[in-house]
Structure 1
Amino acid sequence: MTTSSPAGSGWLRQTLLLGVELRPGELRGVLAMFATLFLILFTAYLLKPAREMLILTEGTAEIRSYAVALQALLLLVFIPIYGKFSRQFDSYRYMRIVSAVCVATLLAFAAAGQAGMAISVPYFVWLGAYSVLIIAQFWAFASELYSREAGERLFVIVALGASLGAWVGSALSRELVNYMSAYGLMIAGAVTLALAALPARWATLSVPSESRATEATEQTSHPSIFAGFQLVLSRRYLLLMAAFVIMLNLVNTTGEYLLSAILEQMYAEGSANGSIAVDKGTYVGRFYGGFYFTVNLLGVLIQYFAVSRLIRMGGFAVAFLLTPCIVFLGYASLALLPILGWFRYFKVAENSLDYSLQNTARQMLYLPLSRQEKYEARAVIDPFGQRLGDMLQAGIIFAGLHWLGWQSTDFIPAAALMAATGLVLALLIVRERARILAAQKNEQQQE
């Protein structure tokens, strides 16, 4: 920040930019990255209500849980292909290619659905894989574009684009479900996703040399198409990150199942007593539209007012550990006192923290890594790790319902135990990251 600005102007600029120190030439690039991520998340929240409308109309919460597991199997095939092609293109061009493939797939789903084909499960599976892969692709691009020092300062502003895009998208989709079918939402999402690649080009041209990634972290050569999996298995830091993402998502999707089960119960009771007069698809679409709206509004507020200040005052470790700590305490409290009426509010808090604070801190984990690790290892840790957590969750739901005879509330203590495991993994990651940074600092001093 320049010191020549008037006091009032400087205060306003600090507030609008979340208290982040912007250096000369950085504003245009960081706003372009903000806009790209805004459009990516805006698109995601046009597509998510369409997913819920289709899967819970044609199936049940249990079928939804099993469909989530298929996403991991899809990624087993797709990630090696993704990693192989990521070595052949520069980061911006590769981002455009991935986006174009996703746009074409969305339009194909919309056309097939309007032609009368049953697409709920295929679309659900594809969207789960897409939603994590497209975001991982963006952050790989961002962490390659910015140096570690610049990324730790500027990612807070960039990540606000995710929170704001998700909030605006959920607010709009909450209204659109009253006028558009699921297929109309898919077409709208294809348009906004196509637009997302445009500001990313401005970012590549606008980031000053002082803020660009110049550290040539040594890469391990892995010509195999399974290089990403080999990288993760060969490095303790990456393996801990993968285990943490799996556990975090295992806890979150168990909560999503509980929320869906509660929603089905509410609809059945409301239909029986006449208090609900709309069809199930509309009821589900309205509920999730409102749910996502609240989650993302709270996420925006946390991102805007709390994240940068927490990182600056408490440091990375506090920011990274806070969410898994709160999630553990929340599920532990619900296990002791299972008040289902309050569960939706806890899910709002959990998802809001995950989308804002935890997401920002998790992206910073990749800044000290090589390009190959930022792309190929990230594609394993984020998309595949999340979907593997989903697959394990589906197994837990199946075993609990069909072998153990559990009711929905019986899954809460299991979620609390998994949340405790996630907190332990987070502590180990913080320690390993500190070790890696210290080793890199020693190498630089020796040079």
Structure 2
Amino acid sequence: MKRTLLLGVDLRPGEGAGIAAMFASLFLILLTAYLLKPAREMLILTEGTAEIRSYAVALQALLLLVFIPLYGKFSRRFTSYRFMRIVTAICVATLLAFAVLGSVFAVPVSMPYFVWLGAYSVMIIAQFWAFASELYSREAGERLFVIVALGASIGAWVGSAVSRELVNHLDAYGLMTCGAVTLLLASLPARFATRSVPESARGRPESGEVAQPSLMAGFQLVLGKRYLLLMAVFVILLNLVNTTGEFLLASVLEALYAQGSAAGDILVDKGTYVGRFYSTFYFFVNFSGVLIQYFLVSRLLRVAGFGAALLFTPVVVFLGYSALALLPVMAWFRYFKVVDNSLDYSLQNTVRQMLYLPLSRQEKYEARAVIDPFGQRLGDLLQAGIIFAGLNLLGMRAMDYLPVAAVLAAVNIAVVIAILYQRRKLLTP
């Protein structure tokens, strides 16, 4: 029963307290994210359209071009936990500023909030996993990160369930305020974890490593090592496919609202309809993610191996988009996106974090800050260009992007195979 409750993980003496604290911290971080996401959609789709939403996503990449070099510079100056507290405090202050500006002073914050939240969402999670990768050894991380990642799945599910109810009582600014509180609480368990991890599971401090002085050190690391460069390409393609799907989902939602309003079946305003749809959508995505994380991830890793686990999600995504390209039924797309996102948030996220375990501290922080946040937002930027060119130059409709997504997913499978080859070389003595 113990092995079942712990996802079949080999939890050794003294490891329980630290891993529970890491679980709690990531739980609160993801709960926060799913309080903030419906607020984003309520603002952006009320004041704009699905097309405007896709262009706003692209601005996030430009923000990260400025932020990542500063992040890398400051990460060298502080211990991992102190740096995590500083990043969290800045994010809490920014959230409260958005809430006050929008609710008290009626400043239109939908676009800056959307851009900031996209950068925040990947940066805060990358920061947590960099902290975890430094705290635990590679052997311990490969055993225990499955439990930590379950905190993300359950936190996202609980957050989406809570926001599903809160959208009936709070506006977007109320959700932002709630998110600021839960994010502040998220930094507390991490402090306990730093004191509780046993020496047998703790990562060893590196000696003789000199941090690169350049502000662009993270970009230099990624471009100078094939393993990191392939990981960056993988993240870009993964996010390019996913955000294309998000554009399609927003387009489907707009079509459903227009049809329902015209027929008299939908009696609420667009903001409320969008908030309810996305809170329900995220609820089912994250409920499925919990089930996948609990019943599939550790067993797939143990039985089929790391390579099969890393390939699983790209293959499912490719097959899904290929099937929908052949038979583009709009109503089915919502259900496919539930499967796509739940796999991405659970299995794919867990094994992707394990790719960093063999790397140095500088690579875990600075290269990760390029690969995860900037790679994802660069994928968004490319997606915005594809959407703009297709809609405005080629006369494409929303569902015409299904075969495009299928081709990109196929390319990503080839990139994953190349990553596994480089990882095998890296781990070979």
Normalised by the length of structure 1, the TM-score is: 0.95
**Aligned AA (2:56):** A
User: Does 2:419 match 1:429?
Assistant: yes
| Structure 1 residue 340: Cα displacement | 1.2
- Asked if the contact 1:136–1:383 (Cα under 8 Å) also holds between the matched residues in 2, the reply is yes
User: Does 2:82 match 1:100?
Assistant: no
147, 163, 169: which one aligns with 1:157: 147
Structure 2 partner of 1:261 = 251
User: Which residues of 2 match residues 229-240 of structure 1 at below 5 A?
Assistant: 229-240=219-230
Aligned partners of 1:331 and 1:422: how far apart in 2? 13
Aligned partners of 2:375 and 2:339: how far apart in 1? 22
Structure 1 partner of 2:36 = 47
Deviations 1:291-334 (A, max 9, x none): 00000000000001110011011110011100001101111111
SS class of match (1:309): helix
| Structure 1 residue 219: Cα displacement | 4.5
Question: Identity over aligned residues, as a percent?
Answer: 73
Structure 2 partner of 1:336 = 326
Structure 1 partner of 2:263 = 273
SS class of match (1:210): coil
Segment of structure 1 superposing worse, 374-383 or 408-417: 408-417
**Aligned AA (1:277):** L
| Structure 1 residue 222: Cα displacement | 1.8
Structure 1 partner of 2:50 = 61
Structure 2 partner of 1:8 = none
User: Does 2:353 match 1:360?
Assistant: no
SS class of match (1:406): coil
136, 140, 149: which one aligns with 1:146: 136
User: Which residues of 2 match residues 2-401 of structure 1 at below 5 A?
Assistant: 11=1, 13-114=2-103, 115-214=105-204, 216=206, 219=209, 221-401=211-391
Aligned partners of 1:407 and 1:299: how far apart in 2? 31
Aligned partners of 2:207 and 2:350: how far apart in 1? 22
| Structure 1 residue 216: Cα displacement | 3.6
- The RMSD of aligned alpha carbons is 0.9
Aligned partners of 2:18 and 2:235: how far apart in 1? 29
Deviations 1:1-30 (A, max 9, x none): xxxxxxxxxx2x112111101111000000
Normalised by the length of structure 2, the TM-score is: 0.99
SS class of match (2:18): helix
Aligned partners of 1:290 and 1:220: how far apart in 2? 48
Structure 2 partner of 1:445 = none
* Structure 1 portions without partners, runs of 5+: 1-10, 443-447
| Structure 1 residue 221: Cα displacement | 4.3
Aligned partners of 2:143 and 2:52: how far apart in 1? 42
* Structure 2 portions without partners, runs of 5+: none
Aligned partners of 2:421 and 2:335: how far apart in 1? 32
SS class of match (2:12): coil
- Asked if the contact 2:76–2:211 (Cα under 8 Å) also holds between the matched residues in 1, the reply is no
| Structure 1 residue 128: Cα displacement | 0.2
**Aligned AA (2:300):** L
Query: Structure 1 segments of 4 or more deviating over 4 A?
Result: 217-221
Structure 2 partner of 1:3 = none
